[in-house]
Amino acid sequence: MSLANTSLHLKALRQAQLVDVRRAGLFAHYRLASDRVFALWQSLRELGDAQLAEIQRIVTTYLQDRRKLAAIGSEELARRLKESSVIVLDVRPAEEYRAGHIAGARSIPVTELQARLKEIPKGKEIVAYCRGPYCVFADEAVDFLRSSGRKAVRLESGFPDWRAQGFPVDEATSLTDG
């Protein structure tokens, strides 16, 4: 989408009170207006998955390698976190990590993964996550980590779903690993 088109969409969402905006100089930072807006989005996403075959065709077309990438659910990840048997990587951009992330997750944006690979030990399983089930950052991270000799899987959903399910999160932190 063009910047102008995106701006129009965001303006309409703001007028509908579905998003809030925070301005910082020339930049505008948008976020969902409430958890109820996310619940609405989640319901629409699930309805689309169930009712529209076209969504599955798009997923198959654009996420075709996903079948090779193992995924775990939120409950399984929560169990493994309690056991300290995994390293959780938030591969979203750093500003999204700072706004909120899975408690105990490390921030290594997918764009920095290759340069920061030495920070990730080879001995433990790694769970990468991003924005949600259609976000490809986690897929890219898992593919790269596996090709680098690490055992990695992706979280089936993403951070917004994790938070909505009531699992532990850290919010509004600094850039350092949480």
**Which one of 33-42, 44-53, 68-77, 92-101 scores highest in mean pLDDT?**
92-101
Q: Where in the chain is the domain with CATH 3.40.250.10?
A: 68-170
CATH of 68-170, one of 3.40.50.300, 3.40.30.10, 3.40.250.10, 3.40.190.10: 3.40.250.10
How confident is the model at residue 59, as a pLDDT? 65
How confident is the model at residue 53, as a pLDDT? 72
Position 73: which residue type? G
Residues 70-109 have pLDDT tens digits of 799 999 999 999 999 999 999 999 999 999 999 999 999 9
148 contacts 176 by C-beta, under 8 angstroms: no
161, pLDDT greater than 80: yes
How confident is the model at residue 66, as a pLDDT? 58
111, pLDDT greater than 70: yes
Reported as a pLDDT band with limits 50, 70 and 90, residue 175 is: very low
Between the alpha carbon of residue 58 and those of residues 49, 52, 76, 174, the distances in Å are 11, 10, 27, 36
Q: Which long-range contacts (CB under 8 A, 24 or more apart) does 27-36 make?
A: 29/95, 31/99, 35/163, 35/164
Q: Active site includes 135?
A: no
Annotated catalytic residue within 130, 135, 138, 142: 130
Position 166: which residue type? G
